[in-house]
Amino acid sequence: MSQLINKTKGFIADKVAHIQKPEADLTDVDLKHFSRESVTFDGKLDVSNPYSHSIPICQISFKLKSHDKVIGSGTVPDPGSLAAEQKTRLNVPVKVPYSILMDLARDVGADCDIDYCFEIGLTVDLPIIGNFTIPLSKNGELKLPSISDIF
């Protein structure tokens, strides 16, 4: 009897391991908005859904880092769902207070950019499997607006 249970567990584990899962790609991070208090960056996340039905997104958790220091983090609860058999574009807004950006002034220097690492955990509710988190990370440079861009 225990051999049958072990074989059944192995069969189910093998089938679950080969089930298609959604794939995601963090395509870009841009400056979205700036005000007197903060700068808002916008991460663009493209997620492809291989299933013939929509998949609910539980949450998107994120961290924006510069030189291993977290400058913005949070979650986007219940951002909707992934369209069936399509790519869905999700925007992840990250608000960074100017006080933190001033700490990064050493990095900005003459070229007016910030080196960053944007980490995202996209949690979706898959049938049979349950909650599944897709980890993503992107490194790059954010160009800050110059004074002439502001005025």
User: What pLDDT, in 10s, does the model give residues 30-60?
Assistant: 878 877 788 888 888 888 888 888 888 889 9
50 vs 15: which has the higher pLDDT: 50
Residue 64 within any structural domain of the chain? yes
pLDDT of residue 61: 92
Q: For residue 1, give Cα distances in angstroms to 5, 11, 12, 13, 14.
A: 6, 15, 17, 18, 20
Q: Tell me the CA distances in angstroms from 8 to 11, 36, 97, 126, one per residue in order.
A: 5, 61, 54, 21
User: Is 33 within a domain?
Assistant: yes
Domain with 52, as residue range(s), is 22-150
Residue 8 included in any domain? no
Residue 17 domain-assigned? no
pLDDT digits (tens, 9 = 90+) for 112-131: 677 788 888 888 887 777 88
Overall pTM > 0.85:
no
> Does residue 77 sit within a domain?
yes
**Predicted local confidence at residue 13, as pLDDT:** 58
Across 74-83, 98-107, 112-121, least confident range:
98-107
Residue 14 lies in a domain: no
Q: For residue 4, tell me if it sits in a domain.
A: no
CATH of the domain at 126: 2.60.40.1820
For residue 60, being part of any structural domain is answered with yes
The gap from C-alpha 111 to its chain's centroid, in whole angstroms, comes to 27
Q: In the chain, how many domains are there?
A: 1
* CA dist., res. 116 & res. 29, Å (int): 10
